């Protein structure tokens, strides 16, 4: 079930309506949620204040970061090493104490990803402004810096790579980025459900909460534990909310509002 983002309440209001007093189990996307979207992905460093808020919340509740980014990159940008982090859209999951968390789609795609990353890198060299981001289980082709007149060339590049590997790849469009992944039934929503099991966060005591801003986060918003009894929160500029259909149940306007909401959960 989806709704127009502009018509959704804030998360505090949504939680107040439920009034169930459950302990939050919090899942957070990184870019656009814990750090603003920036032109250069390597500049998306979490602020000291957001780091303080997340650390404080993690002392009172379970906090996991679920990002499309490479896990090691997310951990470096956060400056925190005591959280569960699921990178590459949930393919690569790491626990700060026990190490790697395995799942049905943990391995078996490495050779394909390496080959596709090489192809995308070579093809993108001829398109000014592109940025290729290799990841554990995918390759991201960023084109925020590409002249709009060249966007069709970026799309053709992606189409050609998919055609070269029939039925092996899928592409997820994001904000000026194409994410090319193995065609495996795994996503952020599957990762959230898996973590709820592994971390023993199921049952009447817990309220699963997921905050995300991108199209890929819709997989988490529609995950059974979030959609049925949990809370999905879309982070979106109010100027864009009128045109966005989402499975989330609440909205926040920006990263600052995310910080305020998480700070409230920590108290």
* Nearest of 184, 181, 226 to residue 208 by alpha carbon: 226
Record the tokens describing residue 96, joined without a space.
């700060």
- For the chain, the C-alpha Rg in angstroms (whole number) is 18
Which residue bears the tokens 């991108």?
A: 214
Tell me, yes or no, if 29 is annotated catalytic. Answer: yes
CA distance 64 to 155: 33
Cβ atoms of 5 and 244 closer than 8 Å: yes
Residues, the chain: 267
CB 258 within 8 A of CB 211: yes
Nearest to 70 by CA among 41, 47, 97: 41
Number of CB atoms found within 10 A of residue 97's CB: 6
Alpha-carbon gap, residue 195 to 188, rounded angstroms: 10
Strand partners, 93: 86, 101
Question: Could you say which DSSP state residue 267 is in?
Answer: -
Say how many C-beta atoms besides its own lie within 10 A of residue 227's C-beta. Answer: 19
Those residues with Cβ within 8 angstroms of residue 8's Cβ, 6 or more apart along the chain or in another chain: 234, 246, 248, 249, 250, 251
Q: Which of 17, 20, 29, 92 is catalytic?
A: 29
CA distance 185 to 165: 17
Supply the residues annotated as catalytic: 29
């Amino acid at each position: 079930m989806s709704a127009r983002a502009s018509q959704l309440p804030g998360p505090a209001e949504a939680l107040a309506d439920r009034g169930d007093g459950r302990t939050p189990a919090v899942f957070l996307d990184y870019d656009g949620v814990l750090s603003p979207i920036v032109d250069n992905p390597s500049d998306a460093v979490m602020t000291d204040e957001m780091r303080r808020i997340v650390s404080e919340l993690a002392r009172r509740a379970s906090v996991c970061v679920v990002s499309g980014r490479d896990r090691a990159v997310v951990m470096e940008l956060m400056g925190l090493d005591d959280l569960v982090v699921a990178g590459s859209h949930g393919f690569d999951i790491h626990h700060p104490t026990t190490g790697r968390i395995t799942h049905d789609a943990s391995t078996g795609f490495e050779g394909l990803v390496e080959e596709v990353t090489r192809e995308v890198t070579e093809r993108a060299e001829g398109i000014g402004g592109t940025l290729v981001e290799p990841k554990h289980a995918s390759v991201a082709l960023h084109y925020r810096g590409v002249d709009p007149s060249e966007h069709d060339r970026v799309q053709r590049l992606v189409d050609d790579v998919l055609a070269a590997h029939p039925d092996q790849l899928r592409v997820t469009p994001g904000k000026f980025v194409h994410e090319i992944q193995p065609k495996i039934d795994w996503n952020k929503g599957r990762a959230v459900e898996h973590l709820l099991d592994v971390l023993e966060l199921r049952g009447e005591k817990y309220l699963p909460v997921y905050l995300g801003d991108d199209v890929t986060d819709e997989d988490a918003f529609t995950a059974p534990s979030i959609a049925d009894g949990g809370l999905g929160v879309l982070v979106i500029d109010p100027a864009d909310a009128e045109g966005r259909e989402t499975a989330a149940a609440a909205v926040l306007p920006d990263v600052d509002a995310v910080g305020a909401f998480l700070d409230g959960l920590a108290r």
